[in-house]
Amino acid sequence: MKLQLFTLTNQNNMKVTITNLGGRVVSIFVPDKNGKMVDVALGYDNLQCYLKDNEPYFGAIIGRYGNRIAKGKFSLGNKEYRLEINNGPNALHGGSDGFHNKVWQAEQIDDHVLILGLFSPDGEGGYPGNLNVKVTYSLTPENALKIDYEAETDKKTIINLTNHSYFNLDGEGNLSISDHVLTIDADHIVEVDETAIATGNLLTVENTPFDFRKPKSIGNHIDDEHQQIRFGQGYDHTFVFNKKEGLEKVASIYSDKTGINLDVFTEEPGLQLYTGNFLDGKDKDGKNGNPYPHRSGFCLETQHFPDSPNQPNFPSTVLNVGETYNTTTIYQFGIHQ
């Protein structure tokens, strides 16, 4: 199948481009406070670059399981499944041939809606069940990029889909996201060990660098002497929302420079705040020749918690036969008031 680039537009001249390779969001042009269109998504001009080794999952749909599964092992019933170990001792983001690298079926419905489909056969990447996945990207008149995820299986399996867009609200190619002001409605984070695997404990954010319950610049405490910050080399943690269920606003972030604000709504129980700690600026293929240095983009990956298949107290990521996995996340752009 050939690689294609689709363009969604709306009546406010907002423009989002998405490729069928990994279902990746390639660019998001939104108006800044002066009405100038700014591309707030990191990525590549050349679609082939997304296939490079060690590519940082720019804009990608992540599956079958976003984030890490300890030692790449989990059990369903009395059967143990083994996944590719691709991140230290653990499995990360569905393995090296995860959904981020697949060429998806694509159907653009109109200027605003793109539907992507993927069939992932039983056993692929070590996961059980023939899985049919559908992801619908919609650009709304309110300048929101809405992502609806759906999946069905013919064998009990696990699933945790997310989108791995890196944003910089000053515009991609700008150097740092430290001045972005972030709010997350979360009293807890998922504690991780030195291999970034969930320990099973939730930590209160009170008096820690993780307290974003009131607006705070990302850079304020990102290098604090705190064990969790050290393990993540910055923020690379799942925040546990205070909301119980339903599609609700869970996070907001803005930049004073452009005035651009991003609100995140989701049905998921958590989000991985990842502050681009492993970007290093060495990749010279960024859009317009831009290198993407350390912490020049942030991800707000709405998802279930890491390693849930091995953590009985976490919300379940099991998908049974006859059920439909169905979850929505909305990235809503506006101007900070």
Question: Which residues are near ligand BGC by CB under 6 A?
Answer: 56-57, 67, 196, 236, 272, 274, 278, 301
294 catalytic? Reply is no
Complex with ligand BGC: residue 50 or 57, whichever CB lies closer: 57
Question: 178 near 295, Cβ under 8 Å?
Answer: yes
Helix, strand, coil: what percent of the chain each, to 5?
Answer: 10, 45, 50
- Tokens at residue 120, please? 């992932």
Six token digits for residue 313: 């107290």
| Sign of the dihedral defined by the CA atoms of residues 149, 188, 307, 271, in that order | positive
CB of 56 to ligand BGC, least distance (A): 4
Residue among 124, 172, 267, 301 flagged as catalytic = 301
Q: Which is nearer to ligand BGC, 67 or 308 (CB)?
A: 67
Supply the minimum distance, in Å, between the C-beta of residue 26 and ligand BGC: 17
Beta carbon nearer to ligand BGC, 145 or 196: 196
* Residue 38 or 287 having the CB closest to ligand BGC: 287
* Per-position DSSP letters for 98-135, written without gaps between them: SGGGSB-EEEE-SSSEEEEEEEE-TTGGG--S-EEEEE
Q: How far is the CB of 264 from ligand BGC (least distance, A)?
A: 15
Exactly one of 100, 164, 180, 304 is catalytic; name it.
164
Q: Which residues pair with 147 in a beta bridge?
A: 137, 329
**How far is it, in rounded angstroms, from Cα 142 to Cα 135?**
20
CB of 174 to ligand BGC, least distance (A): 19
Q: Which runs of consecutive H residues, i.e. helices, occur in the chain?
A: 227-232
100 tagged catalytic: no
CB of 289 to ligand BGC, least distance (A): 21
Closest CB to ligand BGC among residues 32, 301? 301
Nearest to 160 by CA among 80, 77, 91: 91
> Which residue type, as a one-letter code, is found at position 222?
I
Residues tagged active-site: 164, 301
